[in-house]
């Protein structure tokens, strides 16, 4: 994928060094963007939905052609870095926001990867696009009217009344009306996914086939409720054992398979894999002859027999949906944004996931 690299500098307010370099990777090649804007926000919640004007930005800077202006000093803390890009037709075609931390005396490179917007926005009513900038309609000669057939510049095609680059436009990728799925970008007229993600097209888009239980190892491969996706293969959730007929069993609490697939407790409860008489240990409750923790057990989450779906884990007695953490190998993870902004380690495993609530 080709990208336009736009460099904008920023420094910590208490930094005597070189500060931070912000590099914006604009999709579509070096000639796509005529203007790029980068804002420092108090959080990415001030840029929802993507593409909107930022709410009360802490700092804002622009890059136009070969020149760029610095963001200037920013006080240490956690912020949202918001980038937007416009083309020569004044269409806002790409945007992204990612959390980042500014440290006292900190320096380094921060990279931002805007995604192509599904519905690029042009100039507001009463404004026209003149030389790549929106100006009052009477200030230039551009009427802002849709292009006439055959009038689009070389390299652009007319789609639904707009001139677009079908090599890089995610809403018209390779041809008019061919839309890339969520998370995908258009490069060289093909829908592409970032990193190691798999493109499942349509309404699914880019998925993490390594850890997504709904698309584990392939677009149509879904794990069962008692399984999770481990390296692209559906396996029993941590703490469960595959017994007869391939069924994943909680040998820590199943009185028919207590501690092992062939061990049965005769009238006793199964507690932590042992036949333990008639009473459960502290913090565990009796359920179907076994001792379970209603606060964390995905098979009995909040109550006996209340099991979580494959894409949920049990947190504080509630089944909470989670999302894969992209290309991250551990927390913290910048891919955990929006509704799933908290990075947690999957219970009993070593890979990170993204949650909407605090980790259990």
Per-residue pLDDT band at 284 (split at 50, 70, 90): very high
pLDDT tens for 49-103 read 777 887 777 777 777 654 556 666 777 777 888 888 888 777 888 888 887 777 7
Architecture of the domain spanning 3-120: Sandwich (2.60)
Average pLDDT for residues 40-54, to the nearest whole number?
A: 78
Answer for the pair 123, 144: CB distance below 8 angstroms, yes or no.
yes
Identify which of 4-8, 92-96, 293-297 has the greatest average pLDDT.
Answer: 293-297
Where along the chain do its domains lie? 3-120
Residue 138 pLDDT greater than 80, yes or no: no
Highest mean pLDDT (candidates 38-42, 54-58, 141-145, 229-233): 229-233
Q: What is the mean pLDDT of residues 27-50?
A: 75
Q: What local confidence, expressed as pLDDT, does residue 140 receive?
A: 40
pLDDT band for 31, please (50, 70, 90 cuts). Answer: low
Percent of the chain with pLDDT over 70: 80
Segment among 86-95, 141-150, 211-220, 262-271 with least mean pLDDT: 141-150
pLDDT tens readout for residues 99-125? 777 776 666 667 777 777 776 677 765
SS (H, E, C) the chain: CCEEEEEEEEEECCCCCCCEEEEEEEECCCCCCCEEEEEEECCHHHHCCCCCCCCCCCEEEEEECCEECCCEEECCEEEEEEEEEECCCCCEEEEEEEEEEECCCCCEEEEECCEEEEEEECCCCCEEEECCEEEEHHHCCCCCCCCCCCCCCCCCEEECCEEECCCCCCCCCCCCCCCCCCCCEEECCEEECCCCCEECCCCCCEECCCCCCCCCCCCCCCCCCCEEEECCEEEECCCCEECHHHCEECCCCCCCCCCCCCCCCCCCCEECCEECCCCCCCCCEEECCEEECCCCCCCCCCCCCCCCCCCEEEECCEEEEEEECCCCCCCCCCCCCCCCCEEEECCCCCCEEEECCCCC
């Amino acid at each position: 994928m080709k990208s336009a690299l736009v460099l904008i500098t920023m420094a910590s307010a208490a930094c005597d060094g070189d500060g931070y370099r912000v590099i914006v990777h604009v999709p579509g090649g070096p000639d796509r963007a005529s203007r790029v804007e980068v804002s420092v926000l108090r959080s990415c919640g001030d840029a929802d939905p993507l593409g909107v004007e930022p709410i009360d930005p802490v700092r804002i800077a622009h890059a136009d052609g070969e020149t760029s202006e610095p963001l200037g000093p920013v006080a240490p803390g956690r912020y949202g870095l918001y980038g937007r890009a416009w083309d020569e037709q004044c269409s806002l075609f790409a945007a992204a926001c990612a959390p980042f931390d500014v440290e006292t005396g900190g320096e380094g490179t921060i990279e931002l990867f805007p995604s192509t917007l599904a519905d690029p926005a042009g100039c507001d009513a009463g404004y026209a696009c003149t030389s790549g900038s929106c100006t009052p309609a009477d200030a230039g000669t551009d009427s802002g009217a849709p292009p006439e057939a055959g009038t689009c510049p070389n390299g652009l095609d007319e789609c639904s009344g707009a001139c677009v680059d079908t090599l890089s436009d995610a809403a018209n990728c390779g041809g008019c009306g061919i839309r890339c799925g969520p998370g995908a970008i258009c490069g060289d007229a093909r829908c592409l996914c970032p990193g190691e993600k798999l493109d499942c097209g349509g309404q699914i888009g880019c998925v993490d086939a390594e850890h997504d239980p709904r698309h584990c190892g392939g677009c149509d491969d879904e794990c069962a409720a008692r399984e999770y996706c481990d390296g692209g293969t559906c396996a029993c959730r941590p703490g469960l054992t595959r017994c007869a007929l391939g069924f994943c069993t909680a040998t820590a609490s199943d009185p028919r398979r207590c501690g092992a697939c062939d061990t049965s407790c005769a009238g006793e409860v199964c507690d932590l894999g042992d036949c333990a008489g008639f009473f459960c240990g502290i913090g565990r409750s009796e359920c179907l002859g076994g001792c379970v923790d209603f606060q964390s057990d995905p098979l009995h989450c909040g109550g006996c027999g209340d099991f979580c779906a494959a894409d949920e884990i049990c947190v504080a007695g509630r089944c909470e949906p989670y999302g894969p953490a992209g290309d991250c190998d551990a927390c913290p993870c910048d891919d955990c944004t929006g509704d799933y902004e908290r990075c947690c380690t999957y219970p009993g495993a070593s890979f990170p996931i993204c949650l909407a609530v605090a980790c259990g």
